[in-house]
Amino acid sequence: MRRASIIVPARNAAATLPALLDALAALDLPAGTNVEVVLADDGSTDGTPDLARAHPLPVHVLTSPGRGPAAARNAAAAQARGDVLAFTDADCAPTPRWLAAGLAALDAGADIVQGVVAPPPGVHVGPFDRTVRVGQPTALYETANLLVRRRTFDDLGGFESWLGTGTQKELGEDAWFGWRAVRSGARPAFCAEAVVHHAVFPGTARSFVAERLRLRFFPALVRRIPELREAFCFRRWFLTSRTARFDLALAGLCGALLGRRRWPLLAALPYLRQVAGLATPWGPRRAPLVAAANVAADAVGAAALGLGSARSRTPLL
């Protein structure tokens, strides 16, 4: 009989944990598969572990003082007994076929499997709201939806906290794990049938702009994982096509000011079209705010990338 362990790190997840546990209880399991759920509570103060223990679904709850999600996942994996480790997060809700589809991808020859992450169907996502979307291979191996063979996990020694401070907002521990696996010879795969829905958290224009400060970590990520230049970055030197358009617009503006000519402003057209495309769907009343917030967010992101590039001595625009 196959045994799979579902690993969930959680910190102050009382608002979303019931939906996750309900979804796990409704999984359509393949014949001959035994599943356990291991939740690593990472220093919650809102009753998260009590909610998990009270749920009808049997959950093995571990508690830790709050060392970050990488350490929490490792602690849960150390207690897990499965030959497959299936990672998701406390603000997610897998679809019934999630685990079965992921296991099938492993049976087809993969050692590490990414799946789809999307907002719940029918849930409105505002222009400043926060959620996670993964619709195709990203090369970042997001642990909202990641399955790995136990032997692969053990051979690598689990996740490493290295970028950020080992807090709830640490970044890159999953990407680094995935690329360490690939470098060791593990076979990666993406499974479009393994779907997890990620909660949508309301946001404001201010929080939307502030979130771009996290881009300062990406140059360090690229320094440690140079493969991301080809697998993730846009034309190697830009984080995304959006940051490339913003930088082109900024260069055009500077050229116009310095040369006292208008034609360099043409370089801003691709970026302006993108901003208009993001803002127009929200109607004439909200569109100006959405446009302004996007421009401000991109400016903050550019500054954050510049700071991170200088700190890590790895240029990323």
Tens of pLDDT along the chain (317 residues)?
789 999 999 999 999 999 999 999 999 998 889 999 999 999 999 999 999 999 999 999 999 887 889 999 999 999 999 999 999 999 999 999 999 999 999 999 999 999 999 999 999 999 999 999 999 999 999 999 999 999 999 999 999 988 865 445 678 999 999 999 999 999 999 999 999 999 999 999 999 999 999 999 999 999 999 999 999 999 999 999 999 999 999 999 999 999 988 999 999 999 999 999 999 999 999 999 999 999 999 999 999 999 999 999 999 99
pTM: 0.94
Nearest alpha-carbon partner for 34 in 66, 2, 6: 2
Residue 2: its pLDDT value, please?
A: 87
pLDDT at 164: 67
Query: Quick one: 32 exposed, middle or buried, by C-beta within 10 A (0-12, 13-18, 19+)?
Result: exposed
Residue type, 104: A
How far is CA 290 from each of CA 129, 240, 295, rounded to the nearest angstrom?
12, 20, 9
Q: How far apart are CA 195 and CA 61, in angstroms?
A: 24
- Among left, alpha and beta (phi > 0; psi -120 to 50; other), residue 130 is beta
Residue 217: closest CA among 167, 180, 181: 167
Neighbours of 267 (CB within 10 A): 19
pLDDT reported for residue 300: 98
Domains and CATH numbers, the chain: 2-202 (3.90.550.10), 204-317 (no CATH)
**Could you give the CA distance from residue 244 to residue 220 in angstroms, rounded to a whole number?**
19
Q: pLDDT at position 163, please?
A: 82
pLDDT at 46: 93
pLDDT given for residue 159 in this prediction? 96
Q: Which two tokens stand for residue 308?
A: 């991170």
Position 67 scores a pLDDT of: 84
